[in-house]
Amino acid sequence: MLKEYKIILASGSPRRQQFFKDFDINFEIRLKEVDEIYPEHLKAEAITNYLAELKAQAFEGELASNEILITSDTLVWHNDKALGKPKDYDDAFQILKSLSNATHKVITSVCFKTNTTTETIFEVTKVTFTELSDDQIRYYLDHYQPFDKAGAYGIQEWIGLIGISSIDGSYTNVVGLPTEKVYKHLTLMVADNL
């Protein structure tokens, strides 16, 4: 069904790129630098929706009629604030310390843009960490260096194996993309002729 369309993924994330390879659909990667700044009054999925759409706007006027652009943004929402990618080692340590023995939300928004429409979906997954010792956090940071990840962790890595006690919702969303929802939306768009 998707053969008639050219899927463009505007993401440098190796995890998102791998998901698209695993979908077994042809896609190309197109990247643009975007300042990921959002209005301070926004909260939770309003932030990720805004940023996913901001990334899509960078391609305004550039899409052919058979192209579907996909942009996305993920954040960790905890104690009523957004936790993005850590600034440095100490910031990553503090983020993981705050997630220890607590439940947080991982929110991903995905924007689908064509030359005539823009649609955005989002997914929320609740993740609960057991109590993490300082030594466990340091081991993880030293060996995995998760500084390119929202919330300073990758669920598919060591910390996820030893530290996550429960997950309520989409696992792939926590990795970086709610794959079931994205695939479903893509096929619906194509079925409806966009």
**For 97-155, what is each residue's pLDDT tens digit?**
999 999 999 999 999 999 999 999 999 999 999 999 999 999 999 999 999 898 999 99
Which one of the listed residues 22, 24, 35, 73 is annotated catalytic?
73
Q: What percent of the chain has pLDDT over 90?
A: 89
**Residue 82, domain CATH:** 3.90.950.10
pLDDT at 92: 98
Domain range holding 104?
A: 2-191
Residue 2 predicted with pLDDT over 80: no
Q: 10 Å Cβ neighbour count for 22?
A: 10
Rounded Cα distance between 149 and 85, Å, is 5
Is 0.85 surpassed by the pTM of this model? yes
Specify whether 88 is catalytic. Answer: no
Question: Residue holding tokens 């391609």?
Answer: 59
The pLDDT mean for the chain works out to 95
User: Rounded mean pLDDT of 75-89?
Assistant: 95
Domain count, the chain: 1
Rounded Cα distance between 96 and 180, Å, is 28
pLDDT band at 194 (very low <50, low <70, confident <90, very high): low
Rounded Cα distance between 76 and 128, Å, is 12
CA Rg, the chain, in Å?
17
Give the strand pairing for 6-9 and 67-78: parallel
